[in-house]
């Protein structure tokens, strides 16, 4: 097999350099103008709320079990009629995510039965203190909207926890159907026709 002269190899290597030398450089003004992320970007986690302000997390700990990096700690507690944080029997009293361990895989999102946990597009989480990278409920809970009431408070009048899970609760406390129909209501007529 004939050897190529070293000069040809050098010119091939410099070809890449010369191509990029004449292209206009792209400069991102990062801290001042953060770049856009993809819609399904795996950023910081967020604990969501129902339309009336109650928390969606029921403290089941499935997200912690699904996490391969053991980055999530959940401690559930029972709701009472005097102090209700979520519509079900339980809520996540302590919720922590250790971002020193989190690998951003999203398995916790898939494991959540109430869609309480989602990932935002926020990626600026750098800190100079390791203990500040362990986020608790205070940093993870979605902010209250103006029409929401801060928990603990009672469920909407005349509603059940099933109304919340199906999305039939509005911020004004009425239990009326909103959005897409529930899975059970859309499947039942098809089965009846068979």
Residue numbers belonging to the annotated binding site for [4Fe-4S] cluster: 57, 60, 63, 67, 102, 105, 108, 112
Contact 175, 169 (CB under 8 A): yes
DSSP one-letter code for 151: S
User: Which residues belong to the annotated binding site?
Assistant: 57, 60, 63, 67, 102, 105, 108, 112
Contact 61, 74 (CB under 8 A): yes
* Range 152-156, long-range pairs (CB < 8 A, 24+ positions): 152/82, 152/83, 152/84, 152/85, 153/52, 153/53, 153/54, 153/84, 154/81, 154/84, 155/54, 155/84, 155/87, 156/52
Contact 118, 40 (CB under 8 A): no
SS3 label, residue 119: strand
Q: Cα(62)–Cα(164) distance, rounded to whole angstroms? A: 20
């Amino acid at each position: 097999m004939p050897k190529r002269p070293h000069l040809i190899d050098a010119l091939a290597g410099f070809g890449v350099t010369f191509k990029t030398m004449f292209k206009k450089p792209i400069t991102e003004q990062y801290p001042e103008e953060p770049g856009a992320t993809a819609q399904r970007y795996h950023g910081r986690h967020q604990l969501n709320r129902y339309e009336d302000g109650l928390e969606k997390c029921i403290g089941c700990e499935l997200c912690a079990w699904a996490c391969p990096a053991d980055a999530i700690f959940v401690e559930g507690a029972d709701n009472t009629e005097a102090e209700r944080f979520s519509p079900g029997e339980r809520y996540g009293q302590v919720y922590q995510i250790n971002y020193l361990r989190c690998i951003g895989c999203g398995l916790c999102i898939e494991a959540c039965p109430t869609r309480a946990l989602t990932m935002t597009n926020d990626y600026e989480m750098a800190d100079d203190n390791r203990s500040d990278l362990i986020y608790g409920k205070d940093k993870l809970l979605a902010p209250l909207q103006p029409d929401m009431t801060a928990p603990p408070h009672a469920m909407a009048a005349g509603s059940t926890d099933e109304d919340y899970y199906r999305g039939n609760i509005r911020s004004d406390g009425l239990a009326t159907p909103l959005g897409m129909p529930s899975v059970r209501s859309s499947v039942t007529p098809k089965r009846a026709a068979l």
